[in-house]
Every structure is written in structure tokens, then in C-alpha cells.
């Protein structure tokens, strides 16, 4: 295990919630926390409304691509945060798991996605406080 904590965000398509959460971790913690995101059934590309919502707060996630969830990614992470992927996430003993119930931004307008973005920020801030304590 590396000296810095690592977190993996997982949602079904790895196109909205998990990408926004990873963007917040990178923005708020810099290099202090290793961050990954993945999906159980990755989309072709990131949700453009999620990209726009993050751009509004000065975070650029345009270079991210949806990735498939792997056993290795879970094993390499200290905390695994799931967002609506249910039982598709592999479970390993000794890992910290949390399921964040968040509205899926897919197909939603910018107003809804902004609310999801802001809720994710609050949860990420709490998680970072716990991981870096």
C-alpha cells in the first residue's frame, strides 16, 4: 500500500457521478490522495452536462474517459465509493466501502447536475477529512 490514501469511485457508466467525484478529489486534495474511477458498464464518453457543471466551478474533466471496473482497481484502493452500481462491485475484506445514493445525471438538465455536483463536493470533503486524518 502506498503512503498516501487511495479512493476508487464506481458508478455504472463512469460518465457522470464517479467522474465528478474524482474531479473533486483531484481539485481539493491535489496529489495527497490517489484517485481512480470506473464503471461496471462504461459509457462511450463522459456526460457533457457533467463536464459543463464541473467547468462552472473551475474543474476540467474533459480529458477523462470512462473505464471498466477491474478487480485490480478495487484491490489497489483503500476506499471504494459506489454510486448506484449495486452488487456489481467486487468486495474484498479490509476495504472501506460506502454507497452514495445520488441522482444519476444521465439525461438530466444542468440544474439537476449542478445539485448532484454540489452534493458530491460535500461528500468528497467529508471523505477527504477522514482519509487524510
Cell, residue 48: 457533457
Of 89, 116, 124, 127, the active-site residue reads 89
Of 85, 127, 128, 131, the active-site residue reads 85
- Residues with Cβ within 8 Å of 89's Cβ and at least 6 positions away in sequence, in order, are 10, 40, 69, 74, 80, 82, 97
4 is catalytic: no
89 is catalytic: yes
Of 7, 10, 11, 80, the active-site residue reads 11
- Single out the residue of 116, 124, 118, 117 nearest to residue 29, CA to CA: 124
Grid look-up 457533467 returns: 50
45 is catalytic: no
The residues carrying an active-site annotation are 11, 85, 89
Amino acid at each position: 500500500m502506498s503512503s498516501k490514501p487511495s479512493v476508487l469511485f464506481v458508478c455504472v457508466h463512469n460518465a457522470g457521478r464517479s467522474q465528478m467525484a474524482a474531479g473533486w478529489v483531484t481539485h481539493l486534495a491535489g496529489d495527497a490522495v490517489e484517485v481512480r474511477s470506473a464503471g461496471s458498464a462504461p459509457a462511450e464518453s463522459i456526460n457533457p452536462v457533467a463536464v459543463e457543471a464541473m467547468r462552472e466551478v473551475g474543474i476540467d474533466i474533459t480529458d477523462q474517459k470512462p473505464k471498466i471496473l477491474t478487480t485490480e482497481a478495487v484491490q489497489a484502493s483503500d476506499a471504494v465509493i459506489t454510486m448506484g452500481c449495486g452488487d456489481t462491485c467486487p468486495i474484498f475484506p479490509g476495504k472501506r466501502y460506502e454507497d452514495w445514493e445520488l441522482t444519476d445525471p444521465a439525461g438530466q438538465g444542468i440544474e439537476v447536475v449542478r445539485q448532484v455536483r454540489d452534493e458530491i463536493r460535500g461528500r468528497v470533503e467529508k471523505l477527504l477529512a477522514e482519509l487524510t486524518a
